[in-house]
Chain A
Amino acid sequence: MLSETIRYPAPTNLYPSVVLGATVALALLVAIQNLRNTETFGPSDQGRTSAGLRPAAFAAVWLSYPLVLIAVGFLISTVVAIGLSLWLLRVKHLLAYVVASLPTAALLLVGLQVLFNVAVPQGFLDLLITDFVYSL
């Protein structure tokens, strides 16, 4: 059969197995080294956790943003995410929220959609804005 005659006797699995094997071996080595030097390794991590709550919340906001983005569209999700993010980082000025959220989101929407042809998920408000821009 032709389909058989054009097969090649190539050692297809050699390269991946070598790479993966070496990765596992080296990772183990590093892990052992790290465990040996726990003194320099441990304390710095403790210092990290006490201050780590805010960054964690910040990461959580942005981690959930794509999910909300798919559900309700670009504009609403982006405004909410920016607002939450700034609030978490204790920005006090009202002006910051006003400038950074709605206009940024709206301009990003237009820029991405029209200029960069990035098809962001659109909700009702988004469609209204993009339709308006395309009608210009």
Chain B
Amino acid sequence: MLEGLQLAFEPASLIALVTGLALGLVFGAIPGLTATLGVALLVPITFIMEPAPGMIMLLGVYAGSIYAGSITAILLRIPGTPASIPTMWDGYALTEQGKPRLALGTAAVASGIGGLFSGLVLIFLSPLLADVALKFGPAEYVAIVLFGLLVVTAVLGGSMVRSAAGVFIGLSLALVGLDPLEGFARLDGGFYELGGGLEVVPVLLGIFCLTEAIRMAAKAKDDSPATGTAQLDEGRRTPTAKELLKNKWNFARSSLIGTGLGIIPAVGPETTPFVSYAAAKRASKEREKYGRGSIEALISAETSNNANVGGSLIPLLTLGIPGSAVAAVFLGALTLQGLRPGPLLFAEQPALIGALFTGFLLINALMLVGGVLFVRQFAIVLRLPVAVLATLVALFSILGAFAVGNNVFNIWVMFAAGALAFVLQVARIPIAPVVLALILGPLLETNLTKALTISRGDWAVFVTSPLALVFLILGALFLTLPVVKRVVRRSWTTPGPEANADQDATGRADARQNDGEERRAPRP
């Protein structure tokens, strides 16, 4: 371990760390360039490096790009990854209120704290938690996917029917492609390009980037810059000590949720911030502020999605199980360095593991400090004229979609997703459940079949597994608690101001329209 510490503080490692983090920021911030692509591009470069600096650089790219996805979510309402969607709700609301500095600074602090927490868990509890990761079999995955979908339905807090419609639209979209068992073409309309299913990146670009570009185009009057410019140089950029202290349980809870869900392989980072956000909202005393620029909400989302990174490294390093697409590429890079992630890695390469862990802590510390210091530089994008911004975002959306598999077909997928987003907005169906269900759909379907094969068709398997049962019950609680509470309250008291505050997003959206506000996307 000491040797590893030294290794991590060698100049080569430090340079690799900063370079990786910087590149990760660039990748995360440009729509269409994902963390996966960033890590994949740098793998060949790590061959000519020593293992420790090489892997530290890849870690930097991974962590940096997850964080940078939130920067664009806050400033431009474009989530760089699906994991930044909850960050977008409150982060962009803060930007609209003229507090982009505070939003960015808070995100940096929260990301750093979440990352550091997961790093410590990684260092001290890895072998222990590896066994937990293995407990997740098909039945548990089914339960956890259902849990994630129930939570996103609950977190939006609006009409349950609308959220559920969103979930099922996403699940339907996830059906497109080859049947995962028999390999029959399904719902692909004759396009064999759809054999592998809808690519998630073009769909996200269409839903978030393209629509945002068009919205910006509608706003562009002359050469005026985007919103929030005036406040770029004013106002604080970190939450006060008091605010931080007030959120200590929030930090703890979000870090735990993020790391915990990260450890579960194959669930990926997308579900995490939704769960954390929902949990924070349930526990909060100022629930009505959620979705309207709540620092608390921003902290819960950002802390958890960076805590997820460290969590996902646990099954990767101790078992050789990649939990997400990025982790898979990272696994390949390790293998090619002659390092075989698995039970023996810790015993055979203690120095390297030590260096990796130290590097991971350093990355998160640097992200915290750097994120706060460079708030102004990040926010500079707001100084661009809206017209130029709209043009660039549209261009990057198209090229980003094309870059996924060098395929013009994906550009049309992107446009179709944009059109879908428009239709959903008009029909007032929230978009977040659609996105999450699209990502989780294949996981649900394949594991449902596997679980039933293992149990030989016995549906009781989802109840007899304690872990699965816990997740199902938790999901049900998230969903029903507010309803139960409302019913109880209604039967005991007459409707007062309390009941009004509890009204759903539909009511809020109507209020927004009356203000002449164009933005109508349902928010929690």
Listed in ascending order, the chain A residues whose CB lies under 8 Å from chain B are 8, 10, 12, 15-16, 19-20, 22-23, 26-27, 29-31, 33-34, 40-41, 43-45, 47-48, 51-52, 54-55, 58-59, 62-63, 65-66, 69-70, 78, 81-82, 85-86, 88-93, 96, 100, 104, 108, 112, 115-121
Interface bits B421-449 vs A (CB < 8 Å: 1, else 0): 00000111100000000000000010011
* Residues of A with C-beta under 8 A to B483: none
* Residues of A with C-beta under 8 A to B395: 62, 78, 81-82, 108
Tell me if B398 and A66 are in contact (CB < 8 A): yes
Taking CB atoms and an 8 Å cut-off, the chain B residues in 157-187 that contact chain A are 159, 161-162, 164-165, 168-169, 171-172, 175, 179, 181-182, 184, 186-187
| B interface residues, how many (CB within 8 angstroms) | 60
Listed in ascending order, the chain B residues whose CB lies under 8 Å from chain A are 33, 37, 41, 159, 161-162, 164-165, 168-169, 171-172, 175, 179, 181-182, 184, 186-187, 210, 213-215, 217-218, 220-223, 385-388, 390-392, 394-395, 398-399, 402-403, 406, 408, 411-412, 415, 426-429, 445, 448-449, 453, 510, 513, 516, 518, 520
Q: List 18 A-B contacts (CB under 8 A).
A: A12-B181, A15-B448, A19-B168, A22-B168, A30-B161, A33-B161, A34-B427, A82-B391, A85-B390, A85-B391, A88-B217, A89-B217, A89-B220, A92-B222, A96-B223, A100-B391, A104-B392, A116-B37
Tell me if A58 and B214 are in contact (CB < 8 A): yes
Tell me if A108 and B399 are in contact (CB < 8 A): yes
* Residues of B with C-beta under 8 A to A19: 168, 171-172, 175
Interface centre among A19, A65, A118 (most CB of B within 10 A): A19
How distant is the Cα of A52 from the Cα of B426 in the complex, in angstroms? 14
Tell me if A58 and B159 are in contact (CB < 8 A): no
How distant is the Cα of A45 from the Cα of B33 in the complex, in angstroms? 34
Interface centre among A54, A62, A82 (most CB of B within 10 A): A62
Cβ 8 A contact of B387, one of A12, A45, A48, A89:
A89
Which residue from chain A places its CB closest to the CB of B449 in the assembled complex? A10
Q: Which are the 6 A-B pairs with shortest beta-carbon distances?
A: A89-B387, A26-B165, A58-B217, A23-B168, A89-B220, A85-B391
Measured CB to CB, the closest approach of chain A to B387, in angstroms, equals 4
Cβ 8 A contact of A62, one of B398, B445, B449, B516:
B398
Cβ 8 A contact of B214, one of A59, A86, A90:
A59
How distant is the Cα of A58 from the Cα of B335 in the complex, in angstroms? 47
- Using A26-B164, A96-B385 as known contacts, say yes or no to A86 and B399 having CB atoms under 8 A apart: no
* Residues of B with C-beta under 8 A to A22: 164, 168
Which residue from chain A places its CB closest to the CB of B509 in the assembled complex? A40
* Residues of A with C-beta under 8 A to B412: 66
Measured CB to CB, the closest approach of chain A to B393, in angstroms, equals 10
9 A-B pairs besides A58-B394, A66-B408, A91-B223 with CB distance below 8 A are A22-B168, A23-B172, A30-B162, A30-B165, A48-B518, A62-B213, A89-B386, A90-B221, A108-B399
* Residues of A with C-beta under 8 A to B172: 19-20, 23
Measured CB to CB, the closest approach of chain A to B161, in angstroms, equals 5
Which residue from chain B places its CB closest to the CB of A56 in the assembled complex? B214
Tell me if A55 and B391 are in contact (CB < 8 A): no
Cβ 8 A contact of A65, one of B33, B168, B169, B398:
B398
Measured CB to CB, the closest approach of chain B to A46, in angstroms, equals 11
How distant is the Cα of A66 from the Cα of B399 in the complex, in angstroms? 9
- Using A20-B175, A23-B168, A44-B520 as known contacts, say yes or no to A15 and B445 having CB atoms under 8 A apart: yes
How distant is the Cα of A108 from the Cα of B396 in the complex, in angstroms? 10
- Using A29-B161, A78-B395, A86-B388 as known contacts, say yes or no to A12 and B214 having CB atoms under 8 A apart: no
Interface centre among B159, B162, B221, B399 (most CB of A within 10 A): B399
How distant is the Cα of A90 from the Cα of B388 in the complex, in angstroms? 10
How distant is the Cα of A52 from the Cα of B428 in the complex, in angstroms? 19
- Using A93-B223, A119-B406 as known contacts, say yes or no to A45 and B426 having CB atoms under 8 A apart: yes
* Residues of A with C-beta under 8 A to B411: 66
* Residues of B with C-beta under 8 A to A88: 217
Tell me if A23 and B169 are in contact (CB < 8 A): yes
* Residues of B with C-beta under 8 A to A51: 218
Tell me if A90 and B222 are in contact (CB < 8 A): yes
* Residues of A with C-beta under 8 A to B429: 30
Which residue from chain A places its CB closest to the CB of B405 in the assembled complex? A118
Tell me if B390 and A58 are in contact (CB < 8 A): yes
Tell me if B388 and A23 are in contact (CB < 8 A): no
Tell me if A52 and B218 are in contact (CB < 8 A): yes
Tell me if A12 and B179 are in contact (CB < 8 A): yes
Measured CB to CB, the closest approach of chain A to B25, in angstroms, equals 16
How distant is the Cα of A74 from the Cα of B520 in the complex, in angstroms? 36
* Residues of A with C-beta under 8 A to B171: 19, 23
Which residue from chain A places its CB closest to the CB of B33 in the assembled complex? A116
- Using A10-B449, A34-B428, A58-B214 as known contacts, say yes or no to A23 and B165 having CB atoms under 8 A apart: yes
Measured CB to CB, the closest approach of chain B to A99, in angstroms, equals 9
Tell me if B427 and A31 are in contact (CB < 8 A): yes
Tell me if B513 and A96 are in contact (CB < 8 A): no
Tell me if A44 and B513 are in contact (CB < 8 A): yes
How distant is the Cα of A27 from the Cα of B408 in the complex, in angstroms? 31
How distant is the Cα of A54 from the Cα of B172 in the complex, in angstroms? 33
- Using A27-B169, A29-B165 as known contacts, say yes or no to A54 and B218 having CB atoms under 8 A apart: yes
How distant is the Cα of A118 from the Cα of B407 in the complex, in angstroms? 9
Which residue from chain B places its CB closest to the CB of A100 in the assembled complex? B388
Tell me if A16 and B186 are in contact (CB < 8 A): yes
Tell me if A86 and B391 are in contact (CB < 8 A): yes
* Residues of B with C-beta under 8 A to A54: 217-218
